[in-house]
Amino acid sequence: MKIIENIAEYLDAEGLTMSLGMFDGVHRGHQEIIKKLKKYTESEKLESALLTFWPHPRVVLQADAELKLLNTLEEKLQLLEQFGIEKVFLQEFNEEFRNLSGEEFIQQILLEKMKMKHIIIGYDHHFGKNKSGNFELLKKMSLEYDFEVEQTEAVLENEIAISSTKIRNALASGDIQTANLFLGYSYPLSGKVVAGKQLGRTIGFPTANLEVASIKLLPKNGAYIVEVEVDHTLHKGMLSIMTNPTVGGTSQTVEVYLLDFNQDIYGKTITVRFKDFLHEEIKFESIEKLIDQLKLDRQLTEQYFQNH
């Protein structure tokens, strides 16, 4: 997959079949667009492309917004490549770009710079200043500029339209199963293993403390069943997102315990994939009660992997 960070310098004369948007999560709705793009590229011998943004437009438009995303930029690019996109135009959502009207955006960016021949957009997608660009504008301009336009329907699950917002809401409530169902894969979280308080080591449950990107959305505080990838090998694990109230903690930490694992992984970047929710954050009366709960969590984790 080729990444183009400066559209102004893009000189390829070959036409593109493309889509545009934030594609946060690259969820099943996004995947449906990508499937249509790939089908069209095969029949028309065009390259598939996506124009996406970084940072998120809401971060620029609402400077005080504490927006957390389903994907870091690296994760999103990996997913887009995995699903078969050939070119990604990575556009900074700056002042100049945000002031383009929908019509200017189509003319100056999609047609003049990117040589668009065919575009597929989501059922509710808008673009350009004041959301002036939409399917109707594309359809109207396609008659004059000779390109094709297609709009996808919402992808439904139990009559609910899948969206990045609904996935964020599911994660915020600890509903991992719904989030994963809407994503089409297990929600990932990557982080560098850093030194912690090492309490787990003293009670027989040594954990890896993860340093996570500040933009990444964490599920609600609590304990989770996870799959852990270390050096391309998968392991069973339990993960906690909490403030460690039992030992007087106040700041949020992300700690993962790998079952049947005793390697030194300090300084390594590992990836966890959320499988299920175990329980809310608990303040225990004693360390002994904490150990009892960890033993029960381990038993439930083992049972989960036996059944899946």
Domain annotation covers residue 272: yes
Q: Is the pLDDT of residue 67 over 90?
A: no
Between residues 47 and 197, the one the model is more confident about: 47
Domain annotation covers residue 54: yes
In this prediction, residue 297 carries a pLDDT of 97
In this prediction, residue 92 carries a pLDDT of 87
Using CA atoms, how far residue 139 sits from 8, 106, 125, 209, in Å, is: 25, 11, 14, 51
- 141 and 247, same domain (yes or no): no
Place of tokens 């560098």: 192
In this prediction, residue 176 carries a pLDDT of 98
Q: Is 38 helix (H, G, I), strand (E, B) or coil?
A: helix
- 220 and 265, same domain (yes or no): yes
- 13 and 107, same domain (yes or no): yes
In this prediction, residue 230 carries a pLDDT of 97
- Structural domain count of the chain: 2
pLDDT tens-place string over residues 80-111: 999 999 999 998 888 888 899 999 999 999 99
Domain annotation covers residue 168: no
- 81 and 201, same domain (yes or no): no
- 144 and 212, same domain (yes or no): no
pLDDT tens-place string over residues 261-276: 999 999 999 999 999 9
Average pLDDT of the chain? 92
| Count of C-beta atoms within a 10 Å radius of residue 254 | 20
pLDDT tens-place string over residues 199-215: 767 788 999 999 999 99
In this prediction, residue 12 carries a pLDDT of 86
User: In the structure encoding, which two tokens stand for residue 177, read together?
Assistant: 């199963």
CATH number, domain at 80?
3.40.50.620
- 78 and 205, same domain (yes or no): no
Q: What is the DSSP string of 277-292?
A: EEEE----SSHHHHHH
Domain annotation covers residue 242: yes
Whether pTM > 0.75 for this model: the answer is yes
pLDDT classification of 247: cutoffs 50, 70, 90: low
Residues 6+ apart with CB under 8 A from 176: 170, 187, 219, 224, 274, 275, 276, 277
Between residues 163 and 11, the one the model is more confident about: 163
Q: Is the pLDDT of residue 159 over 90?
A: yes
Domain annotation covers residue 169: no
Q: Is the pLDDT of residue 238 over 90?
A: yes
Q: Is the pLDDT of residue 64 over 90?
A: no
Domain annotation covers residue 179: no
**Which among 135-139, 193-197, 212-216 has the top mean pLDDT?**
135-139
- 86 and 211, same domain (yes or no): no
- 215 and 105, same domain (yes or no): no
Domain annotation covers residue 14: yes
CATH number, domain at 193?
2.40.30.30
Task: Give the mean model confidence (pLDDT) for residues 280-296.
Answer: 92
In this prediction, residue 8 carries a pLDDT of 85
Range of the domain at 295: 186-307
Buried b (16+ CB within 10 A) or exposed e, 263-279: eebeeeebbbbbbbbbe
Domain annotation covers residue 301: yes
Among 160, 177, 199, where does a domain finish?
160
In this prediction, residue 203 carries a pLDDT of 84
- 151 and 190, same domain (yes or no): no
User: In the structure encoding, which two tokens stand for residue 184, read together?
Assistant: 């089409």
- 49 and 122, same domain (yes or no): yes
- 217 and 128, same domain (yes or no): no
Q: Measured between alpha carbons, how far is 3 from 90 in angstroms, rounded to an integer?
A: 7
| Count of C-beta atoms within a 10 Å radius of residue 69 | 22
Q: Measured between alpha carbons, how far is 252 from 241 in angstroms, rounded to an integer?
A: 7
- 23 and 156, same domain (yes or no): yes
pLDDT classification of 170: cutoffs 50, 70, 90: very high
Q: Is the pLDDT of residue 79 over 70?
A: yes
